């Protein structure tokens, strides 16, 4: 009987130790990603892609553009760069939309600023006649003048998912996760806010709660944010993979820390 008790106790101790070791290493095992979930479907994207998607949505909101304009921007950015701010491309193309300095889009430095590049894209799109009713890929081609404009059509479903999430039309649609930093990081909430306002503007920032919340979650790793809270739910960096969870202190405005 004594042997059995010892075996049971040892087994319990091993299980307890293994469980807590697993919980400590879980953030590292999960890596870093973002999940975008809407009624249109689900996308698994990396954090840079989420940051670009959030920025493009913010610029669109500042310009008071319809969601369809945002979808056109997304099919373009996915095809051209996979939603990445590339420092290279075909010939002299750079950035999210692979715009070319030699064709008057701006300098290399300017075009590697996603806010600037997005503004230039939308300024060109707004000059396309009937862009609101054109098929997404035709509108994208009218701006980009790509060698194969039909390729943009492959990304329409992804664009619809992203636009529903990053406009905030679908609440709680975006959550990201990543391992904790090796050393404690001081949250840069004010720096993050200034960058958000640069893309979104002050006026829209007060009206687009879930767009703002998604932007902060996408940029949380970059600015060392620990939590984002809004409308009775909260996302935390420590449990990012779990998504948005009930908040004990509901707030009617987006709070970050």
Closest CA to 132 of 196, 69, 38: 69
**Distance (Å, rounded) from C-alpha 235 to C-alpha 49?**
19
Phi-psi region of 65 (alpha: psi -120 to 50; beta: other; left: phi over 0): beta
The low-confidence residues of the chain, meaning pLDDT below 50, are: 3-28
Residues making up the chain, counted from first to last = 257
**Distance (Å, rounded) from C-alpha 84 to C-alpha 41?**
21
Q: Can you give the pTM of this predicted structure? A: 0.88
Q: How far is CA 161 from CA 43, 100, 130, 168, 170, in A?
A: 7, 28, 23, 11, 10
Q: What is the CA radius of gyration of the chain?
A: 22
Q: Cα dihedral sign for 108, 113, 114, 116? A: negative
Task: Look at residue 147 in the predicted model and tell me its pLDDT.
Answer: 65
Q: Which residues contact 65 (CB under 8 A, 6 or more apart)?
A: 122, 126
In the chain, domain spans: 36-167, 181-256
Task: Look at residue 146 in the predicted model and tell me its pLDDT.
Answer: 75
Longest distance between any two alpha carbons in the chain, whole Å: 86
Closest CA to 238 of 163, 192, 185, 198: 185
**Distance (Å, rounded) from C-alpha 42 to C-alpha 35?**
7
Task: Look at residue 20 in the predicted model and tell me its pLDDT.
Answer: 37
Task: Look at residue 7 in the predicted model and tell me its pLDDT.
Answer: 40
Task: Look at residue 14 in the predicted model and tell me its pLDDT.
Answer: 44
Tokens of 187: 């949250």
């Amino acid at each position: 009987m004594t042997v059995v008790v010892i075996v049971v106790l040892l087994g319990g101790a091993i299980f307890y130790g293994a469980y807590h070791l697993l919980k400590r290493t879980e953030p590292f095992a999960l890596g870093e990603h973002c999940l975008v979930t809407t009624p249109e479907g689900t996308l698994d994207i990396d954090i840079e892609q989420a940051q670009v998607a959030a920025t493009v949505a913010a610029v669109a909101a500042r310009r008071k553009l319809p969601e369809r304009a945002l979808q056109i921007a997304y099919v373009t950015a996915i095809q051209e760069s996979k939603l990445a701010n590339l420092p290279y491309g075909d010939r002299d193309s750079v950035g999210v939309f692979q715009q070319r300095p030699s064709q008057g889009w701006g300098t290399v430095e300017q075009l590697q600023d996603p806010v600037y590049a997005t503004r230039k894209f939308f300024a060109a799109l707004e000059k396309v006649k009937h862009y609101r009713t054109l098929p997404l890929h035709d509108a994208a081609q009218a701006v980009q003048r790509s060698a194969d404009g039909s390729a943009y059509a492959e990304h329409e479903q992804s664009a619809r998912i992203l636009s529903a999430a990053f406009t905030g039309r679908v609440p709680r649609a975006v959550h990201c996760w990543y391992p904790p930093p090796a050393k404690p990081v001081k949250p840069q909430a004010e720096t993050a806010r200034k960058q958000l306002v640069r893309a979104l503007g002050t006026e829209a920032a007060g009206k687009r709660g879930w767009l703002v919340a998604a932007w902060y979650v996408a940029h949380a790793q970059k600015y060392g944010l620990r939590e984002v809270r809004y409308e009775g739910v909260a996302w935390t960096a420590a449990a990012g993979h779990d998504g948005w969870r009930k908040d004990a202190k509901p707030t009617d405005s987006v709070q970050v820390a």
